[in-house]
Amino acid sequence: MKPMTFRDLQDLPPTIGLMTAARALGIGRSKAYQLARDGEFPVRIIRIGDLYRVSTADLMKVLGVGSGE
C-alpha cells in the first residue's frame, strides 16, 4: 500500500471510502474493517447500508492537516 502524500489528501472529495481513509492512516484492509465494525475506527464512519464512508474533513483533523496548510 503506497502512503498518501499531502497533495493526495488535498485532492480528495468530501467523502471517501473506508480503504482510502485506511490508506491515509496507514491501516491495512482487515484491520480497517474490524475497527469499523467494532466502532473503533479513528475517524467517524458514515454507514449507508453495507457501505462505509468517511468525511475527508474529519480525516484531515485526525491527521492534523489544516485546510490552510
Reported pTM:
0.83
Sorted by where each begins, the domain ranges of the chain are: 6-62
Greater pLDDT, 2 or 59: 59
Query: Across the chain, what does the average pLDDT equal?
Result: 89
- Confidence at residue 33, expressed as pLDDT on a 0 to 100 scale: 95
**pLDDT (tens digit, 9 = 90+) per residue, 35-56?**
999 999 999 999 999 899 999 9
Mean pLDDT of 11-28: 94
State the greatest distance between any 2 C-alpha atoms of the chain, in Å, as a whole number: 35
Confidence tier at 5 by pLDDT (50, 70, 90): confident
